[in-house]
Structure 1
Amino acid sequence: MADDSRRSTPVHVEPVPGEPAATATIEGERTLLVADYHAGYEAGLRYERGVDVPSHAPDRRERLLGLIERIVPSRLVVLGDLMHSIGDPGGAERGELEVLFDHVSTGIDVTVVKGNHDGGIEDWLADATVVPGEGVALGDVGVCHGHTWPAPSVLECEVVCLGHEHPCVRLEDEVGGSHVERAWLRGRIEPTVFRDRSAYDGLSWLGDDGPEPPRLVVVPAFNDLVGGTWINVAGQSFLAPFLPDGLADGEAYLLDGTRLGPYRSV
């Protein structure tokens, strides 16, 4: 999906056809990237809203494990919100994740970017490396969650991948009906949004004569129940503090790879 002309060998972050997941080669390792798993979401609905929804935990687990079996990655990167509760996870949520990691091959390195829903996950999730929500550079790919401004090291990468936004598009048919589908959002970073922040003063692409800014890839939510930002509907508020203004030429793609073009005009 994303490459960068600044490199002699472009960095590629490629969506898995039909799935809210992408692959990349990071530091020589085949890597699977997913975002916003939101384990325990159904328990959260019961507690927060009084809505009783049957647990989809087995389906989520089998979909992710099926992807791992197909892709055979050396590394799994979760771009935040692996769990749903903002505080300490309840029994159902923690149990869902424990069962999931019991089934993930011991040969796979797991990195979890800490999302705003991930509470104290680093205190009990022993099967993964947990990094701050502002993100880290993994080779030439910067990963962050998106609920806060990215770390400078993330923005020094060729491609920046984030979650949090749960991008969706609202599509209308010929008779006036509509439905919502998860979507990918990608484009090049708009430098002007980042120039006034002193933390980024050393970034070469902020100058008028510098190289092109990194590519930005907003990954759709893995959990298909959580809703999201309708990116093609006027008046929608984006969740990331640097979106939508920080995306210069954003385009939307459906999970099946259909290119919808500039997201505002879909």
Structure 2
Amino acid sequence: MTEIQPVYGSPALTVDSTLVIADLHIGVESHLRSKGFHLVSRTDDMYDEILSSAGDCNKLVVLGDVKNTVPGSSKQEYAEIPEFFVKLTEVFNKVTVVRGNHDTNIEEYLPPEVELAPATGMVRDDVGYIHGHTWPSNEVMGCKTLVMAHNHPAMAFVDGVKKQMSEPCWLRGRFISGGNRYIQYPESFIVVPAFNRLLGGSPVNGENTDFLGPLMKPEFVDLDNMDIYLLDGIHIGKRGDNLVKCRLWKD
């Protein structure tokens, strides 16, 4: 049986001997600088956190959005992404990137040792992996557990004076009847938080939250019965029991 376990305190997941992360958005600092925020690159910090989260894992899967700029690429991405992945291939026996919506021309940055899976996803053993911005393949939807990203999930907390804060979180849920789109559906799914902590997150428990991606819709997913977990393992409960009025923001 495949063992799936979040890494305590980190936006990373272990699936047997594989470490799974998502939404690196390398180059986001360049975008923020153009908006007047002067930040140093966190790419080396993310590399260090990958190593500290890996434990005994000897394989790495990145669920898309390695890059931040779309379309095109920034100087920061040109400078940092190739070296970042070269270093990862020296640590892990196998490194795989599942293409995300920000990953146009990502193959130009990846060393030949890195496997690039299509946006429609891939399956290893009984687990499927997608970024989440497009329809998965039939093969992926035949897996037992689907792991996806794209939504940058965060739990919103609103106090009595309407002050809002958020914390990155995990979502676990189940599929419901989705009409005739697929012959079969996974038994369950997990939504992975963004690994780049500069991104913050999109409130999953907002009353008017509109989730991103074709699968994260009420005709496919029981949205209110999704379980919310913080990175420290605290089980917040069901989404439907924790809805709040809050400010919404998107990637």
2: CA distance between counterparts of 1:257 and 1:32? 17
2: CA distance between counterparts of 1:240 and 1:12? 26
Q: Could you tell me how far 1:60 is from its partner in structure 2?
A: 1.8
Q: Could you tell me how far 1:55 is from its partner in structure 2?
A: 2.1
* Structure 1 letter corresponding to 2:208: G
Question: TM-score scaled by structure 1?
Answer: 0.82
Identity of aligned residues (%): 36
Tell me whether 1:215 sits opposite 2:188 in the alignment: yes
Question: TM-score scaled by structure 2?
Answer: 0.87
2: CA distance between counterparts of 1:45 and 1:98? 21
Runs (4+) off by over 6 Å: none
1:37-76 correspondence runs (5 A):
37-47=24-34, 49-68=35-54, 71-76=55-60
Q: Could you tell me how far 1:119 is from its partner in structure 2?
A: 0.9
Identify if the C-alpha distance between structure 1 residues 124 and 98 changes in structure 2 by more than 3 Å, giving closer, same or farther: closer
Q: Could you tell me how far 1:54 is from its partner in structure 2?
A: 2.7
Match of 1:108 among 68, 93, 96: 93
Match of 2:164 among 160, 164, 178: 178
Q: Could you tell me how far 1:57 is from its partner in structure 2?
A: 2.3
Question: What is the aligned partner in structure 1 of residue 221 from structure 2?
Answer: 247
1:155-174 correspondence runs (5 A):
155-173=141-159
Equivalent position SS for 2:197: coil
2: CA distance between counterparts of 1:50 and 1:118? 25
RMSD: 1.9
2: CA distance between counterparts of 1:219 and 1:107? 21
Identify if the C-alpha distance between structure 1 residues 239 and 144 changes in structure 2 by more than 3 Å, giving closer, same or farther: same
* Structure 2 letter corresponding to 1:120: N
1: CA distance between counterparts of 2:92 and 2:158? 45
Tell me whether 1:34 sits opposite 2:21 in the alignment: yes
Equivalent position SS for 1:45: helix
Question: What is the aligned partner in structure 1 of residue 247 from structure 2?
Answer: none
Question: What is the aligned partner in structure 1 of residue 126 from structure 2?
Answer: 140
Question: What is the aligned partner in structure 2 of residue 258 from structure 1?
Answer: 234
1: CA distance between counterparts of 2:204 and 2:236? 12
Equivalent position SS for 1:257: coil
Identify if the C-alpha distance between structure 1 residues 174 and 257 changes in structure 2 by more than 3 Å, giving closer, same or farther: farther
Question: What is the aligned partner in structure 1 of residue 74 from structure 2?
Answer: 90
Question: What is the aligned partner in structure 1 of residue 5 from structure 2?
Answer: 14
* Structure 2 letter corresponding to 1:108: N
* Structure 1 letter corresponding to 2:155: V
Equivalent position SS for 1:160: strand
Asked if the contact 1:20/1:222 (under 8 Å) is kept, the reply is yes
2: CA distance between counterparts of 1:14 and 1:55? 29
Q: Could you tell me how far 1:59 is from its partner in structure 2?
A: 1.7
Tell me whether 1:238 sits opposite 2:222 in the alignment: no
Identify if the C-alpha distance between structure 1 residues 240 and 107 changes in structure 2 by more than 3 Å, giving closer, same or farther: closer
Greater CA deviation, 95-104 or 220-229? Answer: 95-104
Segments of structure 1 that go 5 or more residues without pairing to the other structure are 1-8, 206-212
Segments of structure 2 that go 5 or more residues without pairing to the other structure are 243-251
2: CA distance between counterparts of 1:62 and 1:233? 33
* Structure 1 letter corresponding to 2:221: L
Q: Could you tell me how far 1:171 is from its partner in structure 2?
A: 1.4
